[in-house]
């Protein structure tokens, strides 16, 4: 498939996990991509994995929680690509703690990266998207936005905010041609969930040592295949931002193998 031939995409969180898998998927389908991430090492790894497609990939170091960094990064992407058709907001962090022990600084950081960061990137990208070809934005919510995941109250709040914001943006910009959707990954093995990500914004969940596992009512995917790889989500993201997703906006798609059916 070459659904992304002549399409220009910016993917945040492109240095590891699902963000990196999305970059590689869009490249494989013919797209021109700018991958943004806080980790220069992670971006280098993405370039290495792009192989023969690396000629259509450009990288930029961006801290999405920093307004100035986002402004510069999005402007660089738009200039490099000559416009923008697709935005994928995959960058995020996951931190876990007993809520009564969580510091305000830690709570604020999660909100700053996951929710405010997503807003900043979207705000800066909208002018270019309005001039783009069949523009589409895919945001990253989570199964945590709708289902009880203990010790992750701050993360759940941030992802619930992303989900609500996606609906509002779809209503605001639908008549102007921009589609906004969200994905809700769950039971996905990635740098965020296993702690192996190269990016400083993709550290693992770090559940408390005294975690009460009985609070996790559902852990295993119903499909019986165990946790899926990040490429599973990347395929859905690619569909949503392509012509195949042209009649989908203002909604989210849960990708968890039936863990939360």
Residues catalogued as catalytic: 155
- For 131-163, give the secondary structure using H, E and C: CCCCCEEEEECCHHHCCCCCCCHHHHHHHHHHH
**How far, in Å, CA of 245 to CA of 236, rounded?**
10
The answer to whether residues 46 and 22 touch, using CB atoms and an 8 Å cutoff, is no
Task: Encode 169-191: b = buried (16+ Cβ within 10 Å), e = exposed.
Answer: bbeebeeeebbbbbbbbbbbbbb
Among positive and negative, which fits the CA dihedral 92, 164, 121, 23?
A: positive
Q: Which tokens in the block code for residue 55?
A: 């000629």
């Amino acid at each position: 498939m070459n659904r992304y031939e002549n399409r220009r995409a910016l993917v945040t969180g492109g240095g590891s996990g699902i963000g990196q898998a999305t970059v590689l998927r869009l490249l494989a389908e013919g797209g021109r991509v700018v991958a943004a991430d806080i980790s220069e090492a992670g971006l280098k790894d993405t370039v290495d994995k792009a192989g023969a497609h690396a000629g259509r990939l450009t990288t930029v170091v961006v801290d999405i929680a920093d307004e100035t960094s986002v402004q510069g990064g999005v402007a660089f992407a738009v200039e490099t690509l000559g416009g923008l058709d697709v935005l994928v907001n995959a960058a995020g962090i996951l931190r876990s703690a007993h809520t009564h022990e969580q510091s305000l600084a830690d709570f604020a950081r999660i909100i700053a990266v996951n929710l405010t960061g997503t807003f900043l990137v979207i705000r800066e990208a909208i002018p270019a998207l309005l001039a783009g070809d069949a523009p589409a934005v895919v945001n990253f919510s989570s199964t945590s936005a709708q289902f009880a995941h203990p010790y992750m109250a701050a993360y759940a709040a941030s992802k619930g905010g992303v989900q609500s914001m996606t609906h509002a943006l779809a209503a605001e910009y639908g008549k102007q041609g921009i589609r906004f959707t969200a994905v809700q990954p769950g039971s996905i093995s990635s740098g965020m969930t296993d702690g192996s990500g190269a990016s400083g914004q993709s550290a693992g969940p770090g559940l408390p040592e005294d975690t009460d596992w009985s609070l996790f009512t559902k852990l295993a995917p119903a499909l019986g295949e165990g946790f899926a790889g990040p490429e599973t989500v990347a395929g859905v993201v690619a569909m949503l931002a392509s012509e195949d997703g042209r009649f989908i906006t203002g909604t989210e798609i849960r990708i968890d193998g039936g863990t939360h059916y």
